[in-house]
């Protein structure tokens, strides 16, 4: 028992260090140079409610180092408070063309995709940048992503996500989770295992490639429309790449319950997109093994293993966040890592036991690839169609 727990702790530390190394490598990967012939970009930004820092997030898109782009803000409900913010934003948008689209296309169960479909009809350009409301960007972000998209064979460019502005216990946990496990996991999945990965908070693609995989009408039937989009493009022979410069996910104040809800939604997505990969995630968390080791064998050797685990986790988290420009007191990291490690372990089996998710007032059950069905008693859990027709 002692040897098994010590081995699990060592494996976990090794995987954490691997993810950290791949994350640093991807962050340091230079973007391709862009010439003067740059395509026009339509930025599709779905709004729902007032996200933390929403006005600041929107304003960051007015300062992009890019010659030709427009910003389209989509809001489904005319009574949404985001409507007033969007209209005030248009009044001070300056030379950047901004449209506000109220309403949606109602083409599927995914409300975000319905919103995007409504905006797409108003987009002037062939290249689309999908960006969530809680995202802020730097001046160079779009040019860097376009540099990747212009390379031969590229169908989609997504971004690493940096967690910033997290307050309260849930906000701190979410920020560290994004800046270590999520970012490191995306980097490792793409560079080591050759899997495609996309995060819908920032995705750049051509309208023609979106139509190639069936458009928003297909993606609107999935919870994880971003990852499904990436996988369908990959199956159609279009490469998916991750752009190193991260965009900011502005978190605001979150409770532990909100962290748990967000984590479970993402965990259910990963479990239904890649069941074996999700199962293996347990190995990347050495905290439970280290704590159990100390409990069953409270000696110097076990204490040394626990101290090593906490040193590795705290050091990786601090290094990752410093590299991303996020600064926290060193003494906080062991507390954060123990709390995060225990919570993630407790929540890990839930996606295997529950296929139900509540989203914006509607309840769904999810099948393979996060295929959505409205929840009704007695539903048999039917999965997605066997295949979509994809034009190669």
> Which residues form the catalytic set?
226
Q: How far apart are CA 294 and CA 301, in angstroms?
A: 9
Strands 69-75 and 41-47: parallel
φ/ψ of residue 137, rounded to 5? -130, 170
Write the DSSP symbol of residue 103. S
Q: How far apart are CA 252 and CA 93, in angstroms?
A: 24
Name the token pair of 166: 């997290």
Structure tokens, 37: 């012939």
From residue 230, give the alpha-carbon distance in Å to each of 43, 152, 224: 18, 17, 10
Is residue 251 classed as helix, strand or coil in its secondary structure?
A: strand
Q: How many angstroms separate the CA atoms of 334 and 32, rounded? A: 38
Q: Which single residue is written with the structure tokens 């990852």?
A: 227
- Nearest Cα neighbor of 215 from 146, 127, 125, 120 is 120
- Of 196, 177, 174, the closest CA to residue 186 belongs to 196
């Amino acid at each position: 028992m002692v040897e098994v727990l010590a081995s699990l702790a060592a494996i976990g530390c090794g995987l954490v260090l691997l993810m950290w190394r791949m994350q640093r490598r991807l962050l340091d990967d230079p973007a391709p140079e862009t010439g003067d012939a740059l395509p026009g970009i339509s930025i599709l930004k779905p709004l729902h409610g007032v996200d933390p820092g929403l006005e600041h997030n929107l304003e960051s898109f007015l300062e992009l180092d890019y010659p030709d782009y427009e910003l389209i803000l989509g809001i489904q409900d005319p009574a949404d408070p985001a409507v007033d913010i969007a209209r005030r934003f248009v009044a001070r948008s300056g030379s950047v063309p901004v449209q506000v689209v109220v309403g949606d296309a109602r083409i599927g169960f995914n409300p975000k995709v319905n919103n995007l479909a409504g905006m797409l009809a108003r987009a002037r350009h062939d290249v689309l940048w999908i960006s969530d409301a809680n995202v802020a960007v730097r001046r160079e972000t779009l040019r860097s992503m376009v540099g990747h998209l212009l390379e031969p064979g590229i169908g989609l460019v997504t971004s690493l996500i940096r967690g910033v502005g997290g307050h309260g216990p849930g906000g701190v946990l979410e920020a560290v989770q994004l800046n270590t496990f999520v970012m490191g996991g995306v980097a490792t999945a793409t560079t080591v295992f050759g899997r495609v990965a996309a995060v819908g908070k920032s995705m750049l693609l051509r309208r023609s490639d979106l139509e190639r995989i069936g458009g928003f009408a297909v993606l609107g039937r999935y919870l994880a429309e971003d990852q499904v989009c990436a996988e369908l493009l990959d199956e159609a022979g279009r490469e998916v790449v991750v752009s190193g410069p991260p965009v900011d996910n502005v978190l605001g104040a979150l409770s532990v319950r909100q962290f748990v809800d967000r984590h479970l939604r993402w965990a259910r997505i990963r479990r239904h997109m890649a069941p074996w990969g999700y199962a293996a995630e347990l190995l990347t968390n050495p905290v439970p093994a280290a704590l159990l080791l100390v409990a069953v064998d409270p000696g110097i050797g076990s204490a040394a293993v626990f101290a090593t685990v906490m040193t590795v986790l705290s050091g990786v988290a601090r290094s990752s966040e410093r590299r991303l420009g996020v600064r926290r007191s060193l003494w906080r990291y062991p507390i954060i890592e123990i709390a995060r490690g225990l919570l993630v372990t407790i929540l890990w089996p839930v996606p295997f036991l529950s296929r139900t998710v509540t989203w914006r007032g509607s309840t769904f059950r999810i099948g393979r690839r996060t295929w959505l069905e409205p929840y009704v008693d007695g539903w048999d859990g039917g999965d997605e169609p066997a295949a979509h027709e994809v034009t190669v």
